Amino acid sequence: MSRKPTPVDATELETLRQHVRIRSGLECDNFSHIRLLQEEIQKLTGENLSFQTLSRFFAMVRNEFNPSTDTLQIISRYLGYNNFKEFRQLNMEIDAGSHGQALTARIIVSLFSQLDPDEPLDGGMLQIVRNVANILKQRNRLTTDLHQAMAKNRYCRSYFFERLVNIDGLTGEYGEGLNYYLLHAWKREQSLFAHALYCYKAFLSGDIILFAKHFQFLEEYSADEIQKLDPLTAGRYYACLVFRHALEDEEAAMPRQGGDQVKAIVVQRTEKLVQGAGYIPGEAHILAGDLEQGWQLLNSHSMTSSSIPLQFNEELITEFNILRLFCGYFSGNISRKK
């Protein structure tokens, strides 16, 4: 009996292979890499793909057939998806891309190799970061390739994903780039950041199901872990609490938490945030339509422009003041005359 063809095309298979290479850190172009990948899949999923199956999947061994459905399901679960259908739905707009643009992306990212993101930026490097950040705000094929390449680079992950959060781009290339960031999120704090940004995306697009899916990952973190987070990441976490409180009144599907309790937690923890991260929960209240609470947070005694870090000081101070002006005026705390 002839084998029934698996309904998957060449582009989907190449995209899946590329994600495996990113996730594993292996090129998978030799048998030693295939053996290492086999062991990692077994370790992470508890399921076994034979050495021969993986060799055929990466075209190390000649094969006239597509991978079986079971193989596609196991590989998708290894990548963090529930099944291949989910992988296809979330990623097929992010295809292999043209080699020329991918090469350009790698060249740009190479500028940041061997750099320590914890070191302060000098004037020249700061301008380079700003220039690249402006490129990333454009919606084109290159930005997709850039986000894919940047996810592998520690410096780029720190600046172009974590510090320069592009909220307006969450439904575009920046949001799609979170798929790649999450593949390289080896630390729990990085995973929390990625799922928090997915919660932002879901809240702003009104997708209650997607929000619940990613918020459940945030619930896995203990209060002690949250208090030890980097302030910027902690700010995103508390922003998601604000979003959850706003959604729970609209959808019965969201388990309800006490509104006053949520506000008390956010206010208390925001007071302890430093390095300018305290404005993030205030911004979340504005996005959720609670302008009065946003005004109170943005004008608390701990929230001053001097608390904003020197790097990107000008941009953050401008955003901080615009947020205060907006919620102050529309909440009635700033009059037209003022």
Residues in CB range of 6: below 8 A, 6 or more apart? 65, 66, 67, 68, 69, 72
* b (16+ CB within 10 A) / e for 185-212: beeebbbbbbbbbbbbbbbbeeebeebb
Amino acid 92: pLDDT: 62
Task: Walk along the chain (338 residues) in steps of 10 and give the mean pLDDT of each run.
Answer: 64 86 84 93 91 92 85 89 79 52 74 79 77 74 78 84 82 79 83 92 90 90 85 86 81 43 47 57 86 82 52 65 82 73
Is the pTM higher than 0.85? The answer reads no
Q: How many CB atoms lie within 10 A of CB 47?
A: 13
Q: Are the C-beta atoms of 267 and 292 separated by less than 8 Å? A: no
